[in-house]
Amino acid sequence: MVKYIFVTGGVVSALGKGIAASAMAALLEAKGLKVAIQKLDPYINVDPGTLSPFEHGEVFVTDDGCETDLDLGHYERFTSFRSSVVNNYTTGKIYFNVITKERRGDYLGATVQVVPHITDEIKEAIRSAAAPDLDILIVEIGGTVGDIESLPFLEAIRQFRYHVGKENVLYVHLTLVPFIRSAGEMKTKPTQHSVNELREIGIQPDVLLCRTERPLPAEMKRKIAIHCNLDADAVVSALDVETVYEVPLAYKAEGLDRLLDKKLQLNVTPPDTTAWESVVDRIKHPKHEVTIAIVGKYVGLKDSYKSLEEALIHGGIANNARVHLAWVDAEAIEKNGPESLLAEVDGILVPGGFGIRGVEGKIMAVRYAREKKVPYFGICLGMQLAVIETARNLCGLRAHSTEFDPQTPDPIIYLMEKWFNHRTGMVEERTAESQMGGTMRLGAYPCVLQEGTHAFAAYGAREISERHRHRYEFNNKYREVLEQHGVIFSGLSPDGELCEIVELKDHPWFLGCQFHPEFKSRPREPHPLFTAFIEASLKAKMDFFPES
């Protein structure tokens, strides 16, 4: 029987519900349980694929090609669980399903309403993620209690306990206990209000996770417990920590695993958190330091590169190094040249992106990395621009991507009309109208590596699988001329048609990949390409400053 933990948030947004759910999952997994996590998002977009990264942060891509909320990235990084289409539902997706059924005549003349039709659909969505082999499904409800938008979700999870039995459901509420500096005191009132709000709609939380700057004194926990009608040990302080990967350990220290055991009758062994302890130790006490420039467009909102940032930290963990990130605005490179902004860094990374803004600045960064022999890692757009740069400056082509210049004489990056999807065994086609919007190459695709390359050395395998999210591809017409000028096509699709990884001869480490390796990197299993890139950057730094 699957047991359910519903996580809601109160008081303010951005308290880190995603991290809280993930850390709880990590702790339960460390007890030997099989855990999955689902996110229910109150916004009306059917998926976050069309949301601006400025507003909503990164779009996380699953193996099965879904564009999902960035919290799913946290879920995967903290656990061994792999998410899919059933792990992220939005209000839009729920309504879309209900309206589709209504048009099909499924409701047999009934008036279709929020209760029961929308709430039933939400419960169905929750069940769809509860595979029978799971011990626990953690469901995170986006938004803050009190928002109009999240009400149907809260009503659905209230009803859920009724269907599956009290002993199988736990409500965890994440709140803030602020420290008011002028009064020198922590305040519990916002937490009380938030719990009242939940109780008004019929949900009595079983556990309160209180975000605090300072440890919550026992008598304050007692006070919250009495006001909120909770067991005294059910108020857990979630103290700010140095690295998010410390949260599972902080929860363990607070006895959260024992509390969950007791409440859900889990009866299993204590969590083995040694792997998390070593991750945290490596992050906090590294031997080396290295600085990586990320040349991008959304450098103002770091959440737009969340997985990337984490993957770089993981590469650091693998190399016992602290990775400092230098966020460089590509347009500033256009204005001031690469030298002034990139001279101090040990490695340069151009991440994925859409739209022409900053593209020439990114190409200048590629050229700088190539000519100065600084380790370069290009991801998706960063790979496409690496190809454009080498085509222009090594092969003398007037190359561009048709995304940015539809009339370019040398369309070295272009829209492919058809490609074979090895995952589904189907030929994917792009029609005239889909060229405008949809039809991205999304999700996991296999890639075959060429021996004797940086890619092969990093992965130590011949065939790999990585996740994609892009429309444009390398144009094979230009493969030969690039090869003549020292470009190596080190990773191809199994049929040889799709160019997935490029490298450069005569360069310490210059690699571009069409996929997004950052989506598969975990602190306990750093991604091989990030490990290799950080290693190369460290080496470049040490060659320069041998004593460091």
Q: Residues 142, 352, 523, 528: which binds ligand GLN (CB under 6 A)?
A: 352
Q: How far is CA 170 from CA 6, 160, 208, 356, in A?
A: 6, 11, 11, 48
The reply to whether 380 sits near ligand GLN by the rule CB under 6 A is yes
Q: Residues 123, 470, 507, 541: which binds ligand GLN (CB under 6 A)?
A: 470
The reply to whether 353 sits near ligand GLN by the rule CB under 6 A is yes
Q: Which parts of 74-180 are beta strand (E)?
A: 88-90, 136-141, 169-176, 179-180
Q: Is 345 within 8 Å of 291 (Cβ atoms)?
A: yes
| Residue closer to ligand GLN (CB basis): 237 or 384 | 384
Report residue 252 as tokens.
């363990």
Q: Is 66 one of the catalytic residues? A: no
Residues between 400 and 419 with contacts to ligand GLN, criterion CB under 6 A = 403
Q: What is the DSSP letter of 522?
A: B
Taking CB under 6 A as the binding criterion, the range among 237-245, 346-354, 493-501, 540-548 that sits at the site for ligand GLN is: 346-354
Q: How far is CA 287 from CA 276, 283, 323, 453, 544, in A?
A: 18, 10, 11, 28, 17
| Residue closer to ligand GLN (CB basis): 138 or 513 | 513
First-last CA distance in the chain: 55
Work out how close the CB of 231 gets to ligand GLN at its nearest, in angstroms, rounded to a whole number: 48
Taking CB under 6 A as the binding criterion, the range among 12-20, 313-321, 348-356, 519-527 that sits at the site for ligand GLN is: 348-356
Q: Which string of b and e fits 292-326 if b means at least 16 CB within 10 Å? A: bbbbbbbbeeeebbbbbbbbbbbbbbbbebbbebb
Q: Residues 472, 478, 489, 509: which binds ligand GLN (CB under 6 A)?
A: 472
The reply to whether 362 sits near ligand GLN by the rule CB under 6 A is no
DSSP collapsed to 3 states, 2-38 = CEEEEEEECCCCCCCHHHHHHHHHHHHHCCCCCEEEE
Taking CB under 6 A as the binding criterion, the range among 125-133, 431-439, 469-477, 481-489 that sits at the site for ligand GLN is: 469-477
Q: Is 400 within 8 Å of 362 (Cβ atoms)?
A: no
Report residue 258 as tokens.
């024992």
| Residue closer to ligand GLN (CB basis): 357 or 462 | 357
Find, among 507, 545, 543, the residue nearest to 378 by Cα. Answer: 507
| Residue closer to ligand GLN (CB basis): 392 or 470 | 470
Q: Which of 58, 197, 518, 535 is catalytic?
A: 518
Under rule CB under 6 A, how many of the chain's residues touch ligand GLN? 10
Exposed/middle/buried for 95, CB within 10 Å: 0-12, 13-18, 19+? middle
The reply to whether 523 sits near ligand GLN by the rule CB under 6 A is no
Q: Which parts of 243-303 are beta strand (E)?
A: 288-296
Taking CB under 6 A as the binding criterion, the range among 24-32, 79-87, 352-360, 424-432 that sits at the site for ligand GLN is: 352-360
DSSP collapsed to 3 states, 399-457 = EEECCCCCCCCEEEEEECCEEEECCCCEEEECCCCCCCCCCCEEEEEEEEECCCCHHHH
Q: Is 193 one of the catalytic residues? A: no
Report residue 48 as tokens.
């976050």
Taking CB under 6 A as the binding criterion, the range among 42-50, 143-151, 210-218, 467-475 that sits at the site for ligand GLN is: 467-475
| Residue closer to ligand GLN (CB basis): 75 or 305 | 305
| Residue closer to ligand GLN (CB basis): 58 or 257 | 58
Per DSSP, what are the bridge partners of residue 288? 321
| Residue closer to ligand GLN (CB basis): 346 or 518 | 518
Q: Which of 380, 447, 499, 513 is catalytic?
A: 380
Taking the C-alpha atoms of residue 377 and residue 367, their distance in angstroms, rounded to an integer, is 12
Taking CB under 6 A as the binding criterion, the range among 69-77, 163-171, 468-476, 502-510 that sits at the site for ligand GLN is: 468-476
Tell me, rounded to whole angstroms, the distance of Cα 386 from its chain centroid: 24
Work out how close the CB of 65 gets to ligand GLN at its nearest, in angstroms, rounded to a whole number: 13
Half-sphere exposure of 6 (CA within 13 A, CB side): 26
Q: Residues 354, 393, 395, 522: which binds ligand GLN (CB under 6 A)?
A: 354
Taking CB under 6 A as the binding criterion, the range among 251-259, 332-340, 465-473, 500-508 that sits at the site for ligand GLN is: 465-473
Neighbour order of strands in the sheet with 510-513: 321-329, 288-296, 347-350, 376-379, 510-513, 499-504, 487-492, 441-449, 463-470
Q: What is the DSSP letter of 50?
A: G
CB atoms within 10 A of CB 495: 11
| Residue closer to ligand GLN (CB basis): 206 or 389 | 389
Q: Which of 56, 400, 516, 527 is catalytic?
A: 516
Q: Residues 350, 381, 387, 464: which binds ligand GLN (CB under 6 A)?
A: 381
The reply to whether 392 sits near ligand GLN by the rule CB under 6 A is no
Taking the C-alpha atoms of residue 209 and residue 20, their distance in angstroms, rounded to an integer, is 9
21 Rama sector, left if φ>0, alpha if ψ -120 to 50, beta otherwise:
alpha
Q: Is 518 one of the catalytic residues? A: yes
CB atoms within 10 A of CB 217: 11
Taking CB under 6 A as the binding criterion, the range among 155-163, 236-244, 275-283, 464-472 that sits at the site for ligand GLN is: 464-472
Spell out, one character per residue from 420 to 459, where the chain touches ligand GLN: x when CB under 6 A holds, - when not: ----------------------------------------
Q: Residues 3, 173, 221, 471: which binds ligand GLN (CB under 6 A)?
A: 471
Beta pairing class for 499-504 and 510-513: antiparallel
Taking the C-alpha atoms of residue 256 and residue 273, their distance in angstroms, rounded to an integer, is 13
Residues between 103 and 132 with contacts to ligand GLN, criterion CB under 6 A = none
In the complex, which residues of this chain contact ligand GLN (CB under 6 A)? 352-354, 380-381, 403, 469-472
> What are the catalytic residues?
380, 516, 518
